[in-house]
Amino acid sequence: MKLIYITNTRLPSEKANSYQSMQMCYSFSKVFNEVELWTGKARNTKELDNIKDVFGYYNVKKTFIIRRFFQFDSFILGHLNEFIWANLRGLVYSINTCLHLIKYKNSPEVIIYTRTWHLLFIYMLFKKIGLVDNKIFYESHKLSKSIVKIISKIDGLVVINQYLNNLYKKSNIKQVLTAHDGVNIEEYKDISTYKFMPNKKQYTILYTGSLFSWKGVETLVDCMKYLPKNFNLVCIGGSGKYLSNFKSYTSKVLESSRIRVVAHMPKGGLLKYIEIADVLVLPNSAKDKMSLYTSPIKLFEYMASHRPIVASNLSSISEVLSNKNSFLFEPDNAKDLAEKIQKSTSLDCGDIVNQAYKDVQSYTWDKRAENIKKFIE
């Protein structure tokens, strides 16, 4: 069986969707006879444009093929209304990829798997007029009522948490699989195991990931006002205006000696910061629906890191975390977050950390690929 995974993300990219697509294609290549990743041709940032080895950047083996197809360049169209260029870009790319899928008609062993919702409309139109006939599966990371009708006509839907699963089933979508995001545990094998070290001179709080407001990063900065001066914060991730805006916010709230903000970096550099961290924080906000739809990759990476985790008590997160493997705090409550951080450093968290590591064995990219393949079959 051959799987064609279609997305229109930049490669390489600092974004989680690119990382997830590469990890999944690598894991899919272990359970499918052949895997191709189709994505768009696009200019990249100056930093990433010089990277020639995409597989090396994501630390995956070259066990699948990457094919790039024409799409409107977001760096050129970025000055237009975001809604207009995003949809124009998605539609043109989807038409182009569907034209290339025509040759696979009458090839039932070829399966189409996509995260690009525009593709569903174009593909089903092509199918209606007899140009394509392969099974197609869609992976959704949020509920979009505008595409529920078209989703009901495809062969199956994969969602990243149970909350989304329930929402789609209420919309009469029956073929739905919940497949949370995952982690490559092997990447974390060299991180030292947890050691309880009370009364340290300095404690390091670490956050990794995007700097969008719904990620709760401002609450994380605000909580520092309630923590002793020997607690320092390191935030790694983000780029462009989000990174600039976050730095501007931190400078107004916190003295520079207590916070370090570092732009997005490859996994190898990130692991060095996890090694020196005392606690890992996932502070998603409850003010935005995106926090209900998410399955944060960092959540599973944190669980594999042998460090205490402090996370927002949101349904999307509590599907995986509990008081047995983490410290949960009230979302958007800086004071409660500070209290839970202090608790995680003042108690011996050996059992909690070990439970998180035990639990994350069920959330690897390989197991996710196996579950999706069973669903497809």
Do 344 and 206 touch, CB atoms closer than 8 A? no
Q: How much is the pLDDT for 204? A: 97
Q: Is 221 exposed, middle or buried (0-12, 13-18, 19+ CB in 10 A)?
A: buried
Portions of the chain given CATH number 3.40.50.2000: 2-178, 187-361
Contacts of 90 (CB under 8 A, 6+ apart): 8, 116, 117, 118, 119
Query: Which letter does DSSP use for residue 205 in this model?
Result: E
Which of 130-134, 247-251, 282-286, 355-359 shows the lowest per-residue confidence on average (mean pLDDT)? 247-251
Query: Does residue 250 surpass a pLDDT of 70?
Result: yes
CATH class, domain 187-361, is: alpha beta
Q: pLDDT tier at 79 (50, 70, 90 boundaries)?
A: low
Write out pLDDT tens, residues 113-143.
999 999 999 999 999 999 999 999 999 999 8
Query: Does residue 77 surpass a pLDDT of 70?
Result: no
Pairing of strands 156-159, 176-178: parallel
Q: Tell me the residue ranges of DSSP E strands in 78-175.
A: 110-114, 135-140, 156-159
Tell the CATH topology of 2-178.
Answer: Rossmann fold (3.40.50)
Of 367, 365, 374, 377, the C-alpha closest to 23 is 365
Q: What average pLDDT does the segment 26-37 reach?
A: 98
Q: What is the pTM of this model?
A: 0.93
Which of 72-81, 123-132, 156-165 shows the lowest per-residue confidence on average (mean pLDDT)? 72-81
